[in-house]
């Protein structure tokens, strides 16, 4: 086990990174990849080949660009969710049901139990104005491989990168997250700007074996 680290023993990416990383293979259909992002509640994921080597990233920005290229009919769609249904419960309380299948929208939450034993699906953000990528109808997304839509320029760094170096990378490249790759370019973690702020906000910060004490 690693010895405890303090700011006098500079922390590196492997000490701060989240080791839970959703990866999507480059041959995955775009529709399936979009579903994976929705279900995981994340805004992007590294794209890997079958051997695990990172070759790109798919983000909500990529989906937004695809949606914007669908033509004027897509751009003219109302910027509100069309999959909502108002429901007045006993006592006058009003809720908003989601008409999409369970698990297809990050704003879904469980509702009351129905007479048949099923649980209704409610919208947790009924008044939220959705971004372009959130208005994309999943059924309309093509089945082409993710590699045809992903961004190939990915901001990455190594597990032994220092905190100061990671901060400079984020500032220089205008990003809020860094993908951490091992020596074989396989994703092993993610460091966010919030992770770096935690270090700066807590000078007493210590790490043992990669976890905060």
Angstrom distance (rounded) from CA 55 to CA 88: 49
Identify the pLDDT of residue 90.
58
Identify the pLDDT of residue 213.
31
For tokens 């293979």, the residue is: 25
Domain boundaries, the chain: 13-74+137-212, 81-128
Q: Is the pLDDT of residue 40 over 90?
A: no
Tokens of 212: 């905060």
Dump pLDDT digits (tens) for 131-174.
544 545 555 566 688 998 898 888 999 999 999 999 999 999 88
Dump pLDDT digits (tens) for 62-114.
776 666 665 434 444 444 566 777 776 656 667 788 877 776 666 777 776 66
Identify the pLDDT of residue 41.
75
Mean pLDDT of 43-68: 84
- The fraction of the chain above a pLDDT of 90, given in percent, is 29
DSSP string over 94-146: EEEEE-SPTTS-TTEEEEEEPTTS-EEEEES-TT----GGGG--GGGS--SBG
- Of the candidates 99, 102, 107, the one whose C-alpha atom is nearest the C-alpha of residue 131 is 107
Angstrom distance (rounded) from CA 141 to CA 66: 9
What CATH number should be reported for the domain whose range is 13-74+137-212?
Answer: 3.10.580.10
Task: Name residue 110's beta-bridge partners.
Answer: 121
């Amino acid at each position: 086990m690693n010895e405890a680290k303090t700011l006098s023993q500079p922390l590196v990416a492997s000490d701060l990174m989240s080791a839970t990383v959703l990866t999507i293979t480059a041959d995955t259909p775009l529709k399936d990849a979009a579903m994976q992002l929705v279900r995981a509640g994340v805004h992007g994921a590294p794209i890997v080949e079958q051997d695990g080597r990172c070759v790109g990233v798919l983000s909500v920005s990529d989906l937004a660009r695809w949606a914007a290229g669908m033509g004027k009919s897509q751009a003219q769609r109302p910027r509100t969710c069309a999959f909502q249904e108002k429901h007045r419960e006993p006592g006058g309380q009003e809720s908003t049901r989601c008409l999409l299948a369970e698990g297809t929208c990050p704003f879904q939450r469980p509702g009351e139990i129905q007479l048949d034993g099923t649980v209704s699906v409610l919208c947790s953000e009924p008044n939220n104005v959705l971004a372009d990528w959130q208005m994309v109808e999943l059924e309309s997304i093509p089945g082409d491989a993710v590699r045809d839509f992903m961004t190939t320029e990915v901001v990455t760094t190594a597990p032994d990168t220092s905190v100061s170096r990671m901060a400079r990378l984020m500032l220089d490249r205008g990003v809020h997250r860094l993908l951490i790759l091992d020596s074989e370019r396989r994703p092993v973690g993610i460091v966010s700007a919030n992770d770096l702020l935690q270090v700066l906000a807590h000078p007493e910060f210590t790490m043992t074996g990669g976890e905060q004490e």
